[in-house]
């Protein structure tokens, strides 16, 4: 295939996250090897889990320029067009932080390329409101392109009153579910009790797991509050998987309150190493921000308990839509008693909730469903691309 045959699909992203690699590999397969990925360097001190190596697709590094930490971002894109010519479609990460994104989309339009924005189209730090300047900007950008790949159905539903629904596609954000399912089946052959013994997790106790950064937004105080209340009722273990600035304070509290059964595991980013701990647990307890970890939990047969956002702020990532209260977990009111009651209920009906978690992820959150929707958006954009 010639570099300049005009059939390429360019994907521009600020940084290439590790979990995106298998998704982009599958997308490249579905696009007959026409995908070229453009990404750049992270800002200093970023917490993003960056890919250690690129996958089975063509990758072209671009320079990134960061301002005020990660507040603003610029990515010169000219070398993409200079090197590979004009593409059939430009697929771009939807981000109001990128000051070069509007210019990239304009360049794509002038080149006669279809344009797809891929993202969440709102902020998790404030309510969705078309009166907010940044939200108006995001909606206007969505209106201008030929297609939008939305992370969830809820994102699509929020955009639909403001953007032509025909060009809104639901590419349910997920992880490499094929690999996760294979890991779970391997662990199922061993059985939960054997895995617990191998990991040194006490047997005969309810086991909760928390995974994520140890920061206030993740609900670290509520996590220990809820576990302490549960421990007063029954034997229990809490696995804390992650690192961050709150770890020292959490460990001090555990010591000072003689809160037994808490194990700090540190950060475990590789899914094959984290999978046994998730499988060995009975429920995931995340009182704070929930994102892709919901997909991870369900893939391992693990129900998830969290709580609603404060004061109407979205707060969670859109992936929290997958947590269906009373089915595969709970999203409770912001009340300590409600959070504890949900944990109790899941533990008392653990096998039922575990089966539902697996059923939901296998029916709704697979990597193939996500890639199918992105391919549909790319084809729609190509069919409706502007004339040069």
Residues 6+ apart with CB under 8 A from 287: 218, 219, 222, 223, 226, 306, 307, 339
219-244 pLDDT, tens per residue? 999 999 999 999 999 999 999 999 99
Question: Is it the case that residue 2 has pLDDT exceeding 60?
Answer: no
At 52, is the pLDDT very low, low, confident or very high (cuts 50, 70, 90)?
low
Has this prediction a pTM greater than 0.85? yes
Determine the average pLDDT of the residues in 144-168: 97
- Label the pairing between strands 72-74 and 65-67: antiparallel
Residue 100: per-residue pLDDT: 97
Q: Which of 5-19, 37-51, 282-296 has the lowest mean pLDDT?
A: 37-51
Determine the average pLDDT of the residues in 47-55: 58
Residue 68: per-residue pLDDT: 85
Exposure class string for 52-83: b at 16+ Cβ within 10 A, else e: eebbebebeebebebeeebeebbbebeebbee
Question: Is it the case that residue 32 has pLDDT exceeding 90?
Answer: yes
Q: Which domains does the chain have, with CATH numbers?
A: 9-174+366-383 (3.40.50.2000), 177-364 (3.40.50.2000)
Residue 1: per-residue pLDDT: 56
Q: Which of 40-44, 187-191, 251-255, 282-286 has the lowest mean pLDDT?
A: 40-44
Residue 237: per-residue pLDDT: 98
What DSSP assignment string belongs to 361-381? HHHH--HHHHHHHHHHHHHHH
Determine the average pLDDT of the residues in 285-299: 96
Packing angle between helix 192-199 and helix 271-280, nearest 10 degrees? 120
Q: How many percent of the chain have pLDDT more than 90?
A: 87
Determine the average pLDDT of the residues in 345-362: 98
Determine the average pLDDT of the residues in 45-60: 68
Q: How many percent of the chain have pLDDT more than 70?
A: 96
What DSSP assignment string belongs to 171-237? ------HHHHHHHHHHHHHH-HHHHHHHHTPPSSSEEEEEES--SGGGTHHHHHHHHHHHHTTS-EE
Residue 63: per-residue pLDDT: 94
Residue 311: per-residue pLDDT: 75
Question: Is it the case that residue 4 has pLDDT exceeding 90?
Answer: no
Question: Is it the case that residue 5 has pLDDT exceeding 90?
Answer: no
Burial of 1 (0-12, 13-18, 19+ CB in 10 A): exposed
Determine the average pLDDT of the residues in 327-346: 97
Question: Is it the case that residue 48 has pLDDT exceeding 60?
Answer: no
199-218 pLDDT, tens per residue? 999 999 999 999 999 999 99
At 46, is the pLDDT very low, low, confident or very high (cuts 50, 70, 90)?
low
């Amino acid at each position: 295939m010639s570099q300049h045959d005009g059939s390429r699909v360019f994907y521009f992203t600020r940084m290439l996250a590790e979990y995106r690699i298998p998704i982009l590999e599958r997308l490249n397969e579905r696009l007959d090897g026409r995908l070229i990925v453009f990404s750049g360097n992270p800002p200093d001190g970023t917490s993003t889990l960056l890919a250690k190596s690129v996958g089975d697709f063509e990758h072209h590094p671009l320079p990134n320029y960061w301002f005020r930490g990660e507040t603003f971002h610029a990515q010169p894109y000219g070398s993409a067009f200079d090197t590979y010519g004009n593409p059939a479609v430009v697929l771009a990460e939807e981000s109001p932080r990128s000051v070069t994104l509007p210019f990239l989309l304009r360049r794509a339009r002038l080149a006669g390329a279809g344009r797809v924005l891929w993202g969440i189209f709102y902020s998790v730090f404030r309510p969705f409101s078309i009166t907010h300047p940044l939200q108006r900007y995001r909606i206007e950008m969505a209106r201008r392109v030929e297609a939008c790949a939305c992370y969830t159905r809820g994102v699509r539903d929020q955009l639909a009153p403001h953007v032509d629904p025909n060009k809104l596609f639901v590419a349910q954000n997920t992880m490499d579910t094929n690999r996760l399912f294979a890991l779970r089946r391997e662990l199922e052959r061993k059985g939960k009790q054997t895995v617990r013994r191998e990991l040194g997790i006490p047997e005969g106790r309810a086991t909760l797991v928390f995974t994520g950064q140890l920061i206030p937004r993740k609900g670290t105080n509520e996590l220990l509050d809820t576990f302490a209340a549960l421990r007063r009722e029954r034997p229990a273990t809490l696995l804390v998987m992650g690192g961050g600035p709150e770890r020292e304070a959490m460990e001090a509290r555990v010591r000072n309150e003689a809160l037994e059964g808490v194990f700090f595991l540190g950060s475990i980013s590789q899914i094959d190493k984290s999978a046994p701990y998730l499988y060995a647990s009975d429920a995931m307890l995340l009182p704070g921000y929930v994102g892709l970890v919901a997909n991870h939990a369900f893939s391992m047969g693990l129900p998830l308990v969290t709580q609603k956002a404060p004061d109407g702020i979205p707060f969670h990532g859109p992936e929290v839509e997958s947590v269906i209260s009373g089915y595969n977990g709970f999203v409770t009111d912001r009340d300590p008693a409600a959070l504890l009651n949900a944990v109790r209920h899941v533990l008392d009906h653990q096998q039922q909730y575990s089966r539902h978690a697996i059923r939901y992820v296998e029916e709704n959150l697979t990597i193939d469903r996500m890639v199918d929707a992105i391919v549909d958006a790319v084809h729609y954009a190509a069919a409706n691309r502007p004339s040069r």
